[in-house]
C-alpha cells in the first residue's frame, strides 16, 4: 500500500489521506530496501530549502513511537495519523540523517560512522535548528498541529530527542517477542535484496545495523555481553531478531522507570483489542477525542493470536524468557 493508505483510511478522511501523501512523498525518504530511491535527492533538497522559508510552525509536544520494528509500530502510527490534529511521519530516517549524519544505522543515506545510542550533547544548535525548521514546515504544509513520528530505534536516543524537543512524549510499544522475531524473519525474506554485490535487508547494508547493534549495544549489556562474540556470528534472522528484541525491550523498561511522566508503555495486543487502551493513548498524547480515529480503529484493528514459539540457543534463551515475563507474557 502506498503511504500505508488502505481503503478504510481513504474512505474516512480525504483530508488526512492528503496529509499522509504529503508525508510519504516529501518528508520520509526511501530506505535501501524500497523502490523509488531516485526521489531522495529531491527530499534532501526540500529539507535544505525549508531552512530559509519563513513561517514555520512551532513544534509543540511531538510524540515519538519507540520499540522494535515489526511490533505494530506502523499501525499505531497510522491510526493516530487519521486524527484531525496529527501529521504522521512513518520512519522519516532521511530527515534525521539530514540533521545528524551519524545516526544512519542502515546505511540508506550515509556510509560514514554511525551510533546506536546518541546523547544529549550531540544535539547542537545546528541540529536543533534543522529539525525544528523541517518539522515546523511539515506541520504547516500538512495542515497539522501535532507531529507523531514513528522511528523505533529512537528508543536508544531519548536524551538526544529530548534535548531537541523538550516537550516530547514517547510511546513504548511492545509485542510478544516470538511474534516479533517471526515477523522480522518474514520481512527480510520478502523485502531483502542483493544489489551491486551488497545485501540490503533488515540488518542494513551488508549487516551494517547488525554489527553496530552487536558492537555498541550487545557488548555493553550486562547479560548478553558475556556472549557477544557468539551472538555476533549469528546468521539466522530469528535469532538476530531475538537479540534486537531483548536489548530494545530492556531499554524500553528502563525508560519507563526513569521517565514515567513522558514514556507510556503500551502492549500491542491490548491496543488492537481494547478501546480503553486506545483512549489512554489519546489522553497521553494530549489529543482530543476524534470520530475519525475511533471509526478507523474499529474498522482495521482486530485481536491477534500469538505465533509459535521460537527455539533459542542457551546464551540468549534465559534472558529472552526473563524479559518476556517482565512484560507480562507467560509461556
Domain with 219, as residue range(s), is 2-326
The x, y and z cell numbers of residue 2, run together, are 502506498
Mean pLDDT to the nearest integer, 169-191: 94
Alpha-helical runs (H) found in 38-103: 40-50, 73-81, 93-99
Q: Is residue 203 part of a domain?
A: yes
Q: How far apart are CA 165 and CA 147, in angstroms?
A: 11
| Contact predicate 82/292, CB 8 Å | yes
For 8, other C-beta atoms within 10 Å of its C-beta total: 13
On whether residue 8 sits in a domain, the answer given is yes
Q: Which helix (H) or strand (E) holds 148?
A: strand 146-150
331 in any annotated domain: no
What is the number of domains present in the chain? 1
**Residue 60: inside a domain:** yes
Identify the CATH number of the domain in which residue 286 sits. Answer: 3.40.50
Cα separation, 88 vs 20, whole angstroms: 7
Assigned domain for 145 exists: yes
Exposed e or buried b for every residue in 235-264, given b needs 16+ CB within 10 A?
A: eebbbbbbbbbbbbbbbbbebeeeeeebbb
pLDDT, tens only, 225-281: 999 999 999 999 999 999 999 999 999 999 999 999 999 999 999 999 999 999 999
The whole-angstrom separation of Cα 257 and Cα 244 is 20
pLDDT in tens, 80-137: 999 999 999 999 999 999 999 999 999 999 999 999 999 999 999 999 999 999 999 9
Q: Please report the pLDDT score of residue 307 as a whole number.
A: 83
Cα–Cα distances in Å, from 198 out to 102, 145, 242?
A: 21, 41, 24
- Across the range 11-24, mean pLDDT stands at 96
> Of 146, 156, 131, nearest to 88 (Cα)?
146
% of the chain surpassing 70 pLDDT: 100
Q: Over the Cα atoms of the chain, what is R_g?
A: 19
Q: Is residue 46 part of a domain?
A: yes
Amino acid at each position: 500500500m502506498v503511504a500505508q493508505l488502505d481503503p478504510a483510511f481513504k474512505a474516512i478522511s480525504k483530508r488526512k489521506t492528503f496529509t499522509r501523501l504529503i508525508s510519504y512523498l516529501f518528508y520520509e525518504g526511501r530506505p535501501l530496501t524500497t523502490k523509488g530511491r531516485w526521489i531522495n535527492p529531491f527530499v534532501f533538497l526540500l529539507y535544505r530549502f525549508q531552512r530559509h522559508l519563513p513561517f514555520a510552525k512551532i513544534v509543540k509536544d511531538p510524540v515519538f513511537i519507540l520499540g522494535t520494528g515489526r511490533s505494530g509500530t506502523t499501525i499505531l502510527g497510522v491510526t493516530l495519523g487519521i486524527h484531525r490534529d496529527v501529521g504522521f511521519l512513518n520512519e522519516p530516517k532521511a530527515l534525521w540523517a539530514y540533521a545528524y549524519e551519524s545516526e544512519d544505522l542502515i546505511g540508506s543515506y550515509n556510509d560514514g560512522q554511525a551510533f546506536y545510542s546518541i546523547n544529549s550533547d550531540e544535539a547542537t544548535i545546528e541540529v536543533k535548528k534543522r529539525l525544528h525548521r523541517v518539522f515546523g514546515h511539515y506541520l504547516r504544509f500538512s495542515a497539522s498541529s501535532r507531529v507523531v513520528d514513528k522511528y523505533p530505534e529512537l528508543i536508544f536516543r531519548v536524551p538526544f530527542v529530548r534535548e531537541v524537543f523538550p516537550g516530547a512524549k514517547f510511546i513504548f510499544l511492545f509485542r510478544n517477542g516470538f511474534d516479533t522475531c517471526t515477523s522480522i524473519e518474514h520481512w527480510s525474506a520478502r523485502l531483502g535484496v542483493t544489489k551491486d554485490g551488497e545485501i540490503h535487508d533488515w540488518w542494513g547494508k551488508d549487516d551494517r545495523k547488525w554489527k553496530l547493534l552487536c558492537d555498541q549495544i550487545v557488548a555493553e549489556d550486562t547479560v548478553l555481553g558475556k556472549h557477544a562474540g557468539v551472538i555476533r556470528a549469528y546468521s539466522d534472522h530469528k535469532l538476530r531478531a531475538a537479540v534486537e528484541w531483548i536489548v530494545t525491550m530492556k531499554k524500553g523498561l528502563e525508560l519507563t522507570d526513569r521517565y514515567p511522566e513522558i514514556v507510556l508503555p503500551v502492549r500491542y495486543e491490548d491496543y488492537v483489542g481494547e478501546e480503553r487502551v486506545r483512549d489512554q493513548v489519546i489522553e497521553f498524547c494530549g489529543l482530543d477525542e476524534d470520530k475519525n480515529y475511533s471509526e478507523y480503529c474499529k474498522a482495521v484493528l482486530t485481536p491477534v493470536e500469538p505465533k509459535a514459539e521460537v527455539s533459542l540457543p542457551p546464551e540468549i534463551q534465559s534472558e529472552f524468557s526473563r524479559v518476556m515475563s517482565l512484560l507480562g507474557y507467560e509461556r
